[in-house]
Amino acid sequence: MGKPPKVRLPKVPVPGAHHRAAGQPKAAVTDEMKLENFARAELVKALPKSLRDPKTEHGAVICRGKHSGHLSATPLRSGTATSVDVGLEEPNCGCPEGTLPVAFFHTHPTAEADGGGGATLHGDPDFSEQDKRLANNNQIVAFLGSFDGKFRRYIPPQIPFTEWQGKRYLNATDENGKVLPEVFNETTELNGLLPKT
Ligand SMILES: [Zn+2]
């Protein structure tokens, strides 16, 4: 594996808050709703498993068929009380051929977890900065189901990337070589609580 080829990208605005453009086509809004509903259905299954003792984070990647638009999830993975590797490092983020990763979801099952050595880690029901970074770096949406029953979504700011051998390489600088600042958007709390059992 060498370095990804240098590709000159069009000038893009500095990443900022995500706003739906007034003229965004209806199809895009429908796709967004389909994705939200799919993620909710996956978390309805995953959160109760995650909340069972020993409480562990669960999660997976959501893939969309390139032509069919059909949504599917990679096999559900579990981790520790405060982390889970959903497989974003896998080729195509673990999504099967003919599909693209569009989102990932995971759970936060506990407010307090034993950090070892008597230390207690405090779990936040909201996305961690690392969660948001994963969404930013992979340019995919993140969904979260937490012990407070809330269903949260994070949409990353758009960052230009180069795709090479199924991996995305973010452009850390603009075309003038100026380093782009790391930007995190706000979390959205979606309607409706997730069942805990
Ligand atoms: Zn997390």
Q: Would you list the domain boundaries of the chain?
A: 26-157+184-190
Please report the pLDDT score of residue 120 as a whole number: 62
The residue ranges of DSSP E strands in the chain, in sequence order, are 58-65, 71-73, 77-78, 99-108, 112-116, 119-122, 141-146, 151-154, 161-164, 167-170, 188-190
pLDDT of residue 99 exceeding 70, the answer is yes
Task: Label residue 175 left, alpha or beta by phi (over 0 means left) and psi (-120 to 50 means alpha).
Answer: alpha
pLDDT of residue 54 exceeding 90, the answer is yes
36, 194 Cβ separation under 8 angstroms: no
CA of 124 to the centre of ligand 1 (A): 8
Phi, psi angle pair for 131, to nearest 5°: -60, -45
CA of 92 to the centre of ligand 1 (A): 21
CA of 39 to the centre of ligand 1 (A): 15
CA of 130 to the centre of ligand 1 (A): 7
Q: What is the dihedral of CA 37, 62, 21, 67, to 10 degrees?
A: -100
Both tokens of 145, joined, read: 């189901």
pLDDT of residue 10 exceeding 60, the answer is no
CA of 42 to the centre of ligand 1 (A): 16
pLDDT of residue 83 exceeding 60, the answer is yes
Tokens 């000159």 locate to 8
pLDDT of residue 159 exceeding 70, the answer is yes
Give mean pLDDT, residues 157-186. 83
- Give the pairing of strands 99-108 and 141-146: parallel
Both tokens of 27, joined, read: 């199809």
Q: Which helix (H) or strand (E) holds 48?
A: helix 26-51
95, 74 Cβ separation under 8 angstroms: yes
DSSP-assigned letters across all residues of 129-170: HHHHHHHHHHT-EEEEEETT--EEEE-PPP--EEEETTEEEE
Please report the pLDDT score of residue 4 as a whole number: 56
Gyration radius (Cα) of the chain, Å: 18
Rounded Cα distance between 107 and 86, Å, is 11
101-112 pLDDT, tens per residue?
999 999 999 987
Please report the pLDDT score of residue 17 as a whole number: 40
166-176 pLDDT, tens per residue?
677 888 788 88
User: Ligand 1 (ion): which residues have CB within 5 A?
Assistant: 128, 131
Give mean pLDDT, residues 51-56. 94
Given 2.40.70.10, 3.90.740.10, 3.40.140.10, 3.40.50.720, which CATH number is that of 26-157+184-190? 3.40.140.10
CA of 108 to the centre of ligand 1 (A): 6
Please report the pLDDT score of residue 18 as a whole number: 46
